[in-house]
A and B are shown apart, each in its own frame.
Chain A
Amino acid sequence: MEAKNCYHCGDPKGNSPVLFDDKTFCCHGCKTVYEILQSNDLGYYYELQGAAGSSPKEQERSYDFLDNPAIREKLLEFDDGEYQVINLYIPHIHCSSCIWILENLHRLHPSVRQSQVDFPKKTVRITYNAQTLSLKSLVQLLASVGYEPYISLEELDRPKKNINRALIYKLGVAGFAFGNVMFLSFPEYFDLFNGSGQDDFWLKTYTPLFRWLMFTFSLPVLLYAGRDYLIAAYKGIRSGTMNIDIPIALGILALFARSTLEILFNWGPGYFDSFTGLVFFLLLGKFFQQKTYAFLSFERDYKSYFPIAVTRVHQDGAEENIPIYEIGRGDHLLIRSGELIPADGILLSEKACIDYSFVTGESEPVTRVAGDRIYAGGRQQQGFQEMEVLKPVSQSYLTQLWGNPVFHKNKSDSFRRITDSIGKRFTQAVLTVASVSALYWLWADPSKAANVFTAVLIIACPCAIALAAPFTLGNLLRIFGRKKFYLKNTDTIEQMARVDMAVFDKTGTMTSSSRGRVDYEGVRLSEAEESLLKNTLRGSNHPLSRKLYELLKSYDIVTLDDFQEAQGKGISGSKDAQQMKIGAADYVGGALKDEKGQTEVHVSANDQYKGRFVFKNAYREGLSGVFATLSERKVGLAVLSGDHDGEKSRLMSMLPEGTAYYFNQQPEDKLRFIEQLQGRQKKVMMVGDGLNDAGALAQSEIGIALSENVNVFSPACDGILDATKFRYLPDYLLASKKAMGIIRMSFVLSLLYNVIGLYFAVTGQLQPVIAAILMPLSSITIVAFTTVATNLMARKLP
């Protein structure tokens, strides 16, 4: 049986499949996991969902920092010396097999007492016996079966937050009261339909009891469930902004006060059912709007990107793991290959290759020699490097960016929501109608004036208007989520609809990190030469070597007679009198010189120059399309890159005229650029991916982080877009515009209901039963209309 993909992880088998137990695996890592699971009778893992695993990381990360008691204490949720509880975030959790295996951890290790997965959050809470299993071994156990937890500095710093369940409680209280009050109001309503006009004896005896019971049920709704609306309205009045909460609060208060007076003086049954129903529907809207992606974080800063602990080297050569915040000036640190440089400092080792793409946007790694300044945030690419720290972590060049006040500002406070923007006119209109009709009745029948005044406030309570935006935007938020476009909240959609300027980062945003185009220029290589080239590249860890290695056809692995690496210059290898040099032009002795602004690797065989490989940025699919569509819609466009301008001419040929280009931009420059645009009244959307964009993402009206893998780090932003969906960005922008149109239509619809209700109110005929029918009916109409309309609109969304 020839399976196409790896039995464990489902990836294509690749060049060197591993056969074991009649199954094919893509690598030894996957095979090992399979063996571990089979030997523990956990084969059900594969039956539940095929190929659900992930191959464990080849390079085993050091978890030594978990032995540090200070760090451990911060990570653990509970520790009584014997049992410990920890909640770990595991990005790989993605299917039912994952849940099953993680909840059966006790079969892999008897010291695990209990483990429970929270799937939406991608976390697992593990209770284990700390005397027989250390935290470090537990994490290693998880990593060995392909479920490596993600432990970051951010988690250490964050205080253990309490889950806020207030809204669910409020919804419960309002729903409970609504249901009971409705039951209790039935007797009087039925009597009304009786139509005899004569008071029933039974009703006469028991009405007060029913009414006061309704009053009792309504009290917690006013004082607890509906409290937020009253507070918001009070704040709105004080700050002078007429938000939609003011007419809502007016309606709530009028309903409750009038109902209480009615039963107090025995005028009628009051509107308690409408009152509780109103609050219930409003809270329902709020609840629906609160769609959160528990597994994503929109608040991350550099802390979640930095390691928790680093290795400090003492004068006597002893190594020690210390938490990152304990790093001080003058410390000597050991940085392993693939690790992040945690603080600004000076390189002590002879030579290092550092990838700054995430911090500065430079697309290729740079080489630094001993004595050079190196900056925090770069990823060290080769071997072991030693550095001396100049500044502690929080004061480094990169992390200073987070001192900017823009990171402490709440974006949602700074703009008027569509609902609030009609709130002012609505409040004025309602108060005018109420006063005018009250004045009329003062002249016609003074006894009815107060009655009519409150009736207008009650029936005009903009419940349906307040529901339109939450349901439309909440629904769209979910639709976007299914399309892998994750937004922080519904406010983001409103902001998206107004965007008239789009700014793009280049490296990692417009270019894709995985696919690079490589052109070969020069003499054709023979098969033997290509095989030697590939085998020589195998020995090098330089990112360009790795990239080139991946691209070449597969050849049999041969052992080279000689392999040498000249750090920062190139590599050479020889086999059977064949010799090959790969690297920079002067190292290889090439005829072609290095061109400025281009990344190249030159090759020579037996000291004869062969040619060069030119690495070109691979732009994302549909990039020109995205720019062209936005340009047609009169959206201003700009490219803002931290990289050099080597690709400018190529970009200019791809992108529409009128696009502005800015290169060599520092993170602060990007932030300031956005600020300038906003100074010109532009509504800016920033699309970026790295830490260097963090300032711009925070400053812009809407910052979207593009991510190849939504589970890994993305900087603080308002939305996370899966990179494969990049080309649909204009469609999503259009959809948010249409959603605003739907909201406006529902405003018209709910105003129609209001006009009908007002007719009853101003003529003084508003019976409680009419309010009780009209108010829920208008709310349900709006909910149904917006849901159907957004779903229809989103059907065409790719």
Chain B
Amino acid sequence: MSVIYILLAISIVVALLFFAAFIVSVRSGQYDDPYTPSVRILFEDEVVKNSTGRTPEKTTNSHPTK
């Protein structure tokens, strides 16, 4: 019967955890610049230098040849 207390306690604790996570994310400045990270994540990881020539070659494992 008193299981409702446990359930309520759990639900509130979980809610508070998310709320705390929100506060932390705002404090760390995540909401200050909502745009740049969306671009940054799309950059290729690395540009590998071609040992023979000066023209660099892109790593091709992310998209197969056409």
B15 adjacent to A180 (CB under 8 Å)? yes
Known contacts A169-B23, A172-B23, A176-B19: A119-B58 contact under CB 8 Å: no
B15 CB, nearest partner CB in chain A, Å: 6
B58 CB, nearest partner CB in chain A, Å: 7
Is A520 interfacial (CB 8 A cutoff)?
Answer: no
Q: Give every chain B residue within 8 A of A183 (Cβ-Cβ).
A: 11
Q: Give every chain A residue within 8 A of B11 (Cβ-Cβ).
A: 183
Give 1 or 0 for each of B34-53: 1 = CB within 8 Å of chain A CB: 11100110111001010000
Q: Give every chain B residue within 8 A of A61 (Cβ-Cβ).
A: none
Is B4 interfacial (CB 8 A cutoff)?
Answer: yes
Give 1 or 0 for each of A158-172: 1 = CB within 8 Å of chain B CB: 000001010011001
Known contacts A172-B19, A176-B19, A180-B12: A41-B36 contact under CB 8 Å: no
B56 adjacent to A103 (CB under 8 Å)? no
Q: Count chain B residues whose beta carbon lies closer than 8 angstroms to a beta carbon of A.
A: 29
B23 CB, nearest partner CB in chain A, Å: 7
- Measured as residues with beta carbon below 8 angstroms from the partner, the interface class of chain A is 20 to 34
Q: Give every chain B residue within 8 A of A169 (Cβ-Cβ).
A: 23, 26
Is A121 interfacial (CB 8 A cutoff)?
Answer: yes
Contacting residue for A206 out of B4, B26, B40, B49, CB 8 A: B4
Cβ < 8 Å to B, chain A residues 169-184: 169, 172, 176, 179-180, 183
Is A43 interfacial (CB 8 A cutoff)?
Answer: yes
A118 adjacent to B33 (CB under 8 Å)? yes
Q: Give every chain A residue within 8 A of B34 (Cβ-Cβ).
A: 120
A32 CB, nearest partner CB in chain B, Å: 16
A96 adjacent to B23 (CB under 8 Å)? no
B35 adjacent to A120 (CB under 8 Å)? yes
B33 adjacent to A121 (CB under 8 Å)? yes
Give 1 or 0 for each of B1-42: 1 = CB within 8 Å of chain A CB: 000100010011001001100110011010111111001101
Is A429 interfacial (CB 8 A cutoff)?
Answer: no
B40 adjacent to A99 (CB under 8 Å)? yes
Known contacts A38-B54, A209-B8: A165-B36 contact under CB 8 Å: no
A118 adjacent to B58 (CB under 8 Å)? no
A168 adjacent to B31 (CB under 8 Å)? yes
Is A58 interfacial (CB 8 A cutoff)?
Answer: no
B35 adjacent to A119 (CB under 8 Å)? yes
B1 CB, nearest partner CB in chain A, Å: 9
B49 adjacent to A41 (CB under 8 Å)? yes
B55 adjacent to A168 (CB under 8 Å)? no
Known contacts A118-B32, A118-B36, A163-B32: A43-B55 contact under CB 8 Å: yes
A172 adjacent to B22 (CB under 8 Å)? yes
Cα of A55 to Cα of B36 in the assembled complex, Å:
24
B39 adjacent to A119 (CB under 8 Å)? yes
Is A100 interfacial (CB 8 A cutoff)?
Answer: yes
Instruction: Closest B residue to A209 by CB, please name it.
Output: B8
Contacting residue for B33 out of A44, A96, A120, CB 8 A: A120
B58 adjacent to A165 (CB under 8 Å)? no
Is A117 interfacial (CB 8 A cutoff)?
Answer: yes
A96 adjacent to B47 (CB under 8 Å)? no
B15 adjacent to A96 (CB under 8 Å)? no
Cα of A209 to Cα of B12 in the assembled complex, Å:
13
Is A47 interfacial (CB 8 A cutoff)?
Answer: yes
B10 CB, nearest partner CB in chain A, Å: 13
B56 adjacent to A172 (CB under 8 Å)? no
Cα of A119 to Cα of B41 in the assembled complex, Å:
14
B8 adjacent to A96 (CB under 8 Å)? no
Cα of A118 to Cα of B27 in the assembled complex, Å:
17
Q: Give every chain B residue within 8 A of A48 (Cβ-Cβ).
A: 43
Contacting residue for A213 out of B8, B18, B27, CB 8 A: B8
Q: Give every chain B residue within 8 A of A100 (Cβ-Cβ).
A: 43
Known contacts A165-B26, A169-B26: A99-B33 contact under CB 8 Å: no
> 3 closest Cβ contacts across the A-B interface?
A119-B36, A118-B33, A44-B47
22 contacts between A and B (CB under 8 A): A41-B47, A41-B56, A43-B55, A96-B42, A99-B39, A116-B36, A117-B36, A118-B32, A119-B35, A120-B34, A120-B35, A120-B36, A121-B33, A163-B32, A168-B26, A168-B31, A172-B19, A176-B15, A180-B12, A180-B15, A206-B4, A213-B12
Other A-B pairs beyond A163-B29, A176-B19, 18, CB < 8 Å: A38-B56, A44-B44, A96-B43, A99-B40, A118-B36, A119-B33, A120-B33, A120-B36, A121-B33, A163-B32, A165-B31, A169-B26, A172-B26, A176-B18, A180-B15, A183-B11, A209-B8, A213-B8
